[in-house]
Amino acid sequence: MKVKMITPETKLFFEHLLDPDVYSLISRGEPVTAIGLIEKNNPIGAVAGMLGDNDIFTVMSLYVDPDHRRKGGGKMLMGALEAVLEEAGSGTAVLSYIESSVDEDNTVPPFMEALEIYETSSLEHLYEIPLESFFTSSLFPETFKSKHIKSLSDLNRKELETFNTQYKALNTNMTGALFNSFKPDPELSFTSIKEGTVSGYLLFGKDLGPLKVPVVNLSKVRDPRVTGALLSAFIAACRDRFSPDLKFVLPTPDDRYERLFARLRDVKNLQHNYIF
């Protein structure tokens, strides 16, 4: 096996080994660093990513053909990437891996740990939560009501204009291809609004990208009581709409909800973050 830099001229050779979004970036001439793995002139693996803010390199695609795994190829790819980044003066790289049906065996986490690269809790998380966990918790009463918490569908014209003007300041900036398809459901999305000021929001949408599951996006909120009120209103609305078996995902920019989720049953963090 040997490694080789992937260029716009050779990208087609490795197309089936690259994430489609990454392949599109290469095709558009974006500054993607991509390295291919070859055995007997056959492409069997690839790693690719881009340099971002603060000189942090984000690994956006990592794949080795299943028939060629556990033979040292993945280690060669990561070693070649580290060498390229070191030569370029980029000291930090990040790989964020989200569990899904695309990789039922969850091969990336054990692979990274075999390289002695371990998870960090300082980056984004993506929690999977069954509604039943909220329904059976005493933290969210069925009779919850607050005149300051309204669904987006219940906002009057002035309130909706206020929300549209202010909500971006509370955005957690969850970005990437995974969230491009997110469209909020106005009846199950809520905001905390009082005297012309939006202090928080909870947006609910369905079919989140490749995960094909509902998602809850919570805003940045300084007051935990606002977060609790938003969640309570959402859960109360869900009781008559969904089965307790429904699972949704909740992205967070860090571990800010870890204490809350520790008090709920069957909450799972789908996102594994590695810094190397």
191: Cβ contacts below 8 Å, ≥ 6 apart: 149, 150, 152, 155, 163, 167, 198, 200, 201, 202, 230
Confidence grade of residue 138 (pLDDT, cut at 50, 70, 90): confident
- Residue 139: pLDDT above 50? yes
The domain covering 125-271 belongs, at the CATH homologous superfamily level, to Gcn5-related N-acetyltransferase (GNAT) (3.40.630.30)
| Alpha-carbon span 218 to 215, nearest angstrom | 10
- Residue 160: pLDDT above 50? yes
- Residue 209: pLDDT above 60? no
pLDDT, residue 211, reads 55
Q: How many helices (H) and strands (E) does the chain have?
A: 7, 13
pLDDT tens profile 222-236: 788 899 999 999 999
Spans of all domains in the chain: 2-114, 125-271
139-154: average pLDDT: 88
The residue type of 87 is: E
pLDDT, residue 82, reads 92
Confidence grade of residue 259 (pLDDT, cut at 50, 70, 90): confident
pTM, two decimal places = 0.77
pLDDT, residue 177, reads 47
Please check whether the two domains, 2-114 and 125-271, share a CATH topology.
yes
- State the DSSP string of the chain: -EEEE--TTTGGGGGGGS-HHHHHHHHTT---EEEEEEETTEEEEEEEEEE-GGGEEEEEEEEE-GGGTTSSHHHHHHHHHHHHHHHHT--EEEEEEE--GGGTT--HHHHHHHTT--B-SSS-EEEEEEHHHHHT-TTS-TT---TTEEEGGG--HHHHHHHHHHGGGG-----SGGGTT--B-GGG-EEEEETTEEEEEEEEES--GGG-S-EEEEPP-S-HHHHHHHHHHHHHHHTTTS-TT-EEEEEESSSTTHHHHTTSTT-EE-EEEEE-
Confidence grade of residue 253 (pLDDT, cut at 50, 70, 90): confident
pLDDT tens profile 56-79: 899 999 999 999 988 999 999 999
CATH class of 2-114: alpha beta
